[in-house]
Chains A and B, each alone.
Chain A
Amino acid sequence: MTALLEARDVFKSFGGHEVLKGVNLKVQKGTIHALIGPNGAGKTTLLNILNGLESPSRGKVYFNGNDITNLPTEKRAKLGIARTFQLLEVFSGLTVLENVTVALYAKSPWGMFKSLTLGKLFNSQERGLEKRAEKFLEELGLIHRSKEEAQNLPAGEQKLLEIARALAIEPEILLLDEPAAGLNNRETKVLGETLKNLCEKNGITILLVEHDMDLVMKISHRITVLNFGEVLAEGTPLEIQKNPDVIKAYLGEES
């Protein structure tokens, strides 16, 4: 079975420093796949390469079996790859609701001329947008924040907003970079439920970079452990928990 998203033998170096050294990763359709590893293991770099914000020094990226290595980020988004960021990238100056309507608009834009002539009042396409955006905010529990400016939300809620915004482009796969950072225990639990729901009910595949091991172990189908730019182990949560190499890498034991 071909994987939905695949990194094949990916290398990446920044000025002589090798961050990724031949990483292979296969994310199967309909699963929650976690990518874990100590800081500096290259997780975010791998996400960036998967959605085209950076290009690999060597190696390929495949989506649904097609080579997308040279496709720019915006075209990958159109194919169905969405993502959120470790360092927040909400649209400040726009309200929470507008953050999502921008994404809905990006999915099916009608262009500058129509916007100039019809504006918001006389364009029937604008009307449905807010209602649809509210649905995504409801799903992430942010509906009570709709009218607030995005940058005024606490960091945790901004992360949720990024997820709502990413969902609005109706992606096949969601790449999440540390979505639980900044959330308290209760919020993390809710997030876990939400992600599980997205996967099971909406059929969205999720690739998750996360440090919260409770969350990772609870919701993931498969886990890949990255260490110093190499895949250290891959398997089910149970297999990963028992893997001696992983334990060593995380606890920093001398061999």
Chain B
Amino acid sequence: MKRFLHNHYFHSLVLFSSILLLGFAIRDPYFTTILVFAGLNALSALGLSLLMGLAGQISLGQNGFYGLGAYISAILSLNLQIPVPLAVLMSAVLSSSLSVFLAIPALRLKGHYLAVATLGFGEIVYLLLNEWGPGGPSGFGNIPKFTMGDIALENPLSYLILVWAIFSAFFTLAQNLAQSSYGKTLQALHSSEIALRTLGVNILSLKVKIFILGSFLTSLSGALYAHFVTFLSPASFSVFYSVLLLMMVMLGGINTLWGAPVGALFITFLPETLRPFKEYDILIYGLILTASLIFLRKGIIHFLKQGIRK
């Protein structure tokens, strides 16, 4: 029994059911919508957490994959009439395949250089969406809603189930990976690339693969975003999104994959709780973020664990 309660399959299930319970209990469309966004952010952040937390490879270009995922899926379903679930999948695969072209040159770099190279990629995608995207800077709408067969996911509650089910599934897989020897190898990449090479590991291939996985998750999240809001403009895909993901991962806790959902829920809900402060909300938002990064340096998860131990 104890073994059952202490494994990550069960934990993912608990997370999934708690979110659904919350959604069904509060039954407020606005609140549910925020929960959907939190789920999308969690999925994007999971990609970054695998990349940064586990493998130690920083990326500030996740906004590029989020944007590509969203635009490709929207265009596939809108212009080519491809069924939405298929378009979402195709878009995530296509967008993350494109990541290979970024990964192979960029991952030869390390640390700050890698950060700048990925930043450049995100910025290029952002500019391309502005120049060549449908509607240019003002964007385009009428993107089909998500339908599975006859069931249309019209209301936020049904989308909540979809997004968090997908997140929970990938969350479980990601934890599988982290616990496996493959995950330990990624962690080793973090501490000594040279030693890994002398053991016969092709580190470039290792990095490229985790980069593809990370960008797949962020692209998938972007695609799901497109069919939820049904309107896209480049503004949602600026570098600010990458910075937001970075904050989620750092604030949640970079040493654990749980940092992604916890950080995403925190950062997504924070501006909402600050509404009563009216024009001062951005100021307080900034202060809280700064304070959290100073006082919760190891992340919320670490802080909570310490609290439980005491």
Q: Hey, which bits of chain A sit against chain B, CB under 8 A?
A: 51, 53, 72-75, 77-78, 82-83, 85, 89-94, 98-99, 101-107, 109-112, 115-121, 123, 126, 129, 162, 165-166, 168-169
State which of B176, B195, B213 has its C-beta within 8 Å of the C-beta of A90: B195
- Chain B residue numbers with a CB within 8 Å of A99 are 188
Measured between alpha carbons, how far is A13 from B203 in the docked complex, in Å?
27
The answer to whether B7 and A121 touch across the interface, beta carbons within 8 angstroms, is yes
Asked if B173 is an interface residue, CB under 8 A from chain A, the answer is: yes
Contact across chains for A119 and B179 when beta carbons are under 8 A apart: yes
B200 touches A107 (CB 8 A): yes
Q: Which of B176, B200, B209 contacts A118 (CB 8 A)?
A: B176
CB neighbours of B197 from chain A (8 A): 53, 72-74, 77
Q: Which residues of A contact B210 (CB under 8 A)?
A: 112
Tell me the bound Cα distance from A127 to B37 in angstroms: 39
- Cβ–Cβ contact B176 & A120, under 8 A: yes
- The B contact surface, by secondary structure, is helix
How far, in whole Å, are A222 and B175 apart by their CA atoms in the complex? 50
Does B185 belong to the interface (CB within 8 Å)?
yes
What are 11 pairs between A and B in contact, CB < 8 Å? Answer: A77-B198, A82-B199, A85-B194, A91-B195, A94-B184, A98-B184, A102-B184, A106-B200, A115-B183, A126-B181, A166-B199
B17 interface hit (Cβ, 8 Å): no
For the A-B complex with A115-B177, A118-B176 known, give 16 more contacts whose Cβ atoms are closer than 8 Å: A74-B199, A74-B202, A77-B197, A82-B199, A83-B198, A91-B187, A101-B181, A101-B184, A102-B184, A102-B196, A102-B199, A106-B200, A107-B200, A112-B182, A116-B177, A162-B195
Shortest C-beta distance, A92 to chain B (Å), equals 5
The A-contacting residues of B in range 164-198, CB under 8 angstroms, are 173-177, 179-185, 187-188, 190-192, 194-198
A123 to B176, CA, bound (A): 10
Which chain B residues lie closer than 8 Å to A116 at the CB level? Answer: 173-174, 176-177, 213
Q: Is the CB of A129 within 8 A of B181?
A: yes
C-alpha spacing A111/B196, complex, angstroms: 16
A166 and B198 contacting across the interface, CB-CB below 8 Å: yes
Residues of A within 8 A of B176 (CB): 115-120
Residue from A53, A83, A104, A120 within 8 A of B180 (CB atoms): A120
- A112 and B198 within 8 A (CB): no
Contacts A115-B181, A119-B176: A93 and B191 contacting too (C-beta < 8 A)?
A: yes
| A73 CA to B196 CA, complexed, in Å | 10
**Across-interface contacts of B15 in A (CB, < 8 A):** none
Looking across the interface, which residue of chain B has its beta carbon closest to that of A91?
Answer: B188
Do B187 and A105 touch (CB < 8 A)?
A: no
The one of A90, A109, A111 that contacts B192, using a Cβ cutoff of 8 Å: A90
Give Cα A81–Cα B169 distance, bound, in whole angstroms.
41
Once the chains bind, are B200 and A105 in contact (CB under 8 Å)?
A: no
Interface presence of B201 (CB below 8 A): yes
Question: Given that A53-B194, A85-B194, A112-B209 are contacting pairs, would A74 and B180 also be in contact in the complex, using a CB cutoff of 8 Å?
Answer: no
Q: Which 10 A-B pairs have the closest CB atoms?
A: A119-B176, A77-B200, A115-B182, A105-B181, A115-B180, A89-B195, A91-B188, A106-B199, A73-B197, A120-B179
Interface centre among B181, B192, B197 (most CB of A within 10 A): B181
A115 to chain B, nearest CB (A): 4
- A94 to B56 CA separation, bound complex (whole angstroms): 14
B192 touches A89 (CB 8 A): yes
B195–A105 touching, CB < 8 Å? no
Q: Which residues of A contact B173 (CB under 8 A)?
A: 116-117
Bound CA span A83–B194, Å: 11
Known contacts: A91-B191, A93-B190, A93-B191. The answer to whether A169 contacts B199 by CB under 8 A is yes
